[in-house]
């Protein structure tokens, strides 16, 4: 097997790759037959891990720009109900392409809209992931609590519990390979699902060794809704239902008490921190430093681009750093290295993966080469990456294979993907637009 050596990076030095794995980091002696990639002056990191996204939302960027979460959702639910699997595949292709170009090699997509019960939409997402080359953790999301039963979503976008569970099994059996496509079980949120769905989803996931995912503690509206309906805070409800556990990661996790932070750490329940989306919706600032100190795995999430129109992962590192310092009023509270750790090792831990997230011998060769010429003057290369100008990756490798080479996608043409997305998105615009 030919060895590839990424040679001469400013940080952390050389990286050698063979048979899809990292086989050397630092000073790597040359061997006859090496394929050498010149990375002089560049910065190399592990592939970034996106722990929470909604790929389909690429079809609705720029909607409800001045709404909080509940108003934003009620505006968009009827629009999303019109999406076809073909729409979602087009959106997913752009989502994954933009993520790849921003250094993301593994992305978790929480898809909870299945109009008419047509779960071929998950095949469409997996097809887009195979085309772009990024690993996808495919969350079979669901909602069963419509407005007529006291939930937030309209009845037109919810499903029956038995149908959801049967579909989850079918999607797992069709698509899950445990590596490139990993199926997870993901009822949407406390205000859109029943306790029965939460309980039976957990039983199903654990019977098959799958991870669990949901939204939790994203807004004060959610907290008020939970107290009004159940007399308990959202996390209390999930804990009673067996959802605060090491095989679970939750999205957003903003409004936690001290006791809840400690409980998340003690149980090793993961949290996907979505800093830009939280700011866009005015939801609040997550207690990231406290969660990490308590022992909870914390990763970064782009979230859907209907609430984070940029849609790339690299800028989330800077945003996470800024918000952590702003929350604590302490510039030493969170470092550039801490931000990079959220995007790599923390994200891998949230997804239950020990084979990615680090530049370590024996791990999968999910590796990003970042151009370093414009930040060669910056003292600390990690600070250059996190705090410096936003950038696209020069090279991205997944399992040792290029998915981005010299700044361009290997498996698709981004301009073509964007044109097809725009054609489909404009169909959804209000007629007055």
Q: Could you identify the residue written with the tokens 């010149």?
A: 38
Distance, in Å, from the CA atom of 250 to the CA atom of 217, rounded to the nearest integer, reads 9
Distance, in Å, from the CA atom of 20 to the CA atom of 316, rounded to the nearest integer, reads 28
Task: Please determine, for residue 337, whether its predicted confidence score (pLDDT) is greater than 50.
Answer: yes
- Mapped to the 3 state alphabet, what secondary structure does 373-412 carry? HHHCCCCCHHHHHHHCCCCCCCEEEECCEEEEECCEECCC
Q: What is the mean pLDDT of residues 405-430?
A: 97
Q: What tens digit of pLDDT does each residue of 339-360 get? A: 999 999 999 999 999 999 999 9
Q: What tens digit of pLDDT does each residue of 304-317 get? A: 999 999 999 999 99
First-to-last C-alpha distance (Å) of the chain: 56
Distance, in Å, from the CA atom of 266 to the CA atom of 212, rounded to the nearest integer, reads 17
Note the pLDDT of residue 433: 47
Query: DSSP labels for 159-173?
Result: --HHHHHHHHHHHHH
Task: Please determine, for residue 398, whether its predicted confidence score (pLDDT) is greater than 70.
Answer: yes
Distance, in Å, from the CA atom of 416 to the CA atom of 132, rounded to the nearest integer, reads 13
Crossing angle of the two packed helices 161-175 and 195-208, in degrees rounded to 10: 30
Q: Which residues contact 378 (CB under 8 A, 6 or more apart)?
A: 384, 388
Q: What tens digit of pLDDT does each residue of 377-386 get? A: 999 999 999 9
Q: What is the mean pLDDT of residues 90-112?
A: 98
Note the pLDDT of residue 390: 95
Note the pLDDT of residue 431: 77
Q: Which residues contact 419 (CB under 8 A, 6 or more apart)?
A: none
Query: DSSP labels for 321-359?
Result: HHHHHHHHT-TTSS-HHHHHHIIIIIHHHHTT-SSSSS-
The alpha carbon of residue 102 and the mean position of all alpha carbons in its chain are separated, in whole angstroms, by 13
Alpha helices in 152-257 (DSSP H): 161-175, 195-208, 220-230, 234-240
Percent of the chain topping pLDDT 90 = 97
Task: Give the global pTM.
Answer: 0.97
Predicted confidence band at 210 (pLDDT cuts at 50, 70, 90)? very high
Predicted confidence band at 38 (pLDDT cuts at 50, 70, 90)? very high
Q: What is the mean pLDDT of residues 109-132?
A: 96
Q: What is the mean pLDDT of residues 168-187?
A: 98
Note the pLDDT of residue 115: 84
Note the pLDDT of residue 154: 92
Percent of the chain topping pLDDT 70 = 100
Q: What is the mean pLDDT of residues 19-38?
A: 97
Note the pLDDT of residue 191: 86
> Among candidates 278, 192, 279, which has minimal Cα distance to 234?
192
Task: Please determine, for residue 127, whether its predicted confidence score (pLDDT) is greater than 60.
Answer: yes
Predicted confidence band at 432 (pLDDT cuts at 50, 70, 90)? very low
């Amino acid at each position: 097997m030919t060895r590839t050596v990424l040679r001469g990076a400013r940080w952390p030095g050389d990286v050698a790759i063979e048979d899809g794995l990292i086989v050397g980091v630092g000073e790597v002696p040359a061997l006859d037959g090496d394929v050498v990639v010149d990375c002089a002056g560049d910065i190399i990191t592990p592939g970034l891990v996106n722990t929470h996204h909604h790929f389909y939302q690429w079809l609705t960027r720029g909607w409800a720009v001045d709404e909080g979460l509940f108003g934003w959702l009620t505006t968009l639910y009827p629009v999303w109900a019109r999406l076809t699997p073909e729409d979602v595949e087009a959106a997913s292709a752009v989502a994954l392409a933009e993520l790849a170009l921003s250094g993301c090699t593994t992305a978790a997509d929480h898809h909870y809209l299945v109009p008419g019960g047509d779960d071929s939409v998950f095949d469409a997402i997996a097809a887009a992931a195979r085309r772009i080359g990024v690993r996808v953790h495919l969350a079979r999301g669901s909602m069963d609590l419509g407005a007529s039963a006291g939930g937030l979503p309209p009845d037109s976008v919810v499903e029956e519990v038995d149908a959801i569970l049967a579909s989850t099994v079918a999607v797992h059996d069709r698509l899950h390979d445990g590596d490139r496509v990993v199926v997870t079980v993901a009822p949407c949120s406390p205000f859109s699902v029943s306790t029965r769905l939460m309980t039976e989803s957990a039983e199903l996931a654990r019977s098959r060794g799958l991870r669990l995912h949901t939204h939790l503690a994203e807004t004060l509206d959610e907290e008020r809704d939970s107290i009004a309906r159940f007399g308990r805070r959202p996390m209390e409800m999930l804990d009673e239902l067996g959802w605060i556990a090491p095989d679970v990661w939750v999205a957003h996790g903003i409004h936690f008490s001290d006791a809840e932070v400690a409980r998340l750490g003690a149980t090793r329940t993961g949290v996907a921190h979505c800093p830009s989306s939280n700011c866009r919706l005015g939801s609040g600032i997550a207690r990231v430093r406290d969660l990490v100190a308590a022992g909870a795995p914390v990763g970064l999430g782009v979230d859907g681009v209907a609430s984070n129109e940029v849609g790339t992962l690299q800028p989330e590192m800077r945003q996470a750093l800024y918000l952590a310092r702003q929350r604590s009023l302490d510039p030493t509270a969170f470092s550039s290295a801490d931000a990079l750790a959220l995007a790599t090792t923390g994200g891998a831990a949230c997804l239950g993966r020990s084979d990615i997230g680090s530049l370590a011998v024996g791990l999968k060769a999910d590796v990003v080469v970042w151009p370093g010429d414009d930040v060669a003057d910056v003292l600390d290369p990690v600070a250059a990456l996190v705090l410096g100008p936003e950038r696209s990756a020069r090279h991205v490798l997944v399992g040792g294979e290029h998915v981005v080479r010299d700044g361009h996608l290997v498996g698709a043409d981004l301009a073509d993907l964007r044109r097809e997305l725009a054609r489909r998105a404009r169909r959804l615009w209000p007629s007055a637009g």
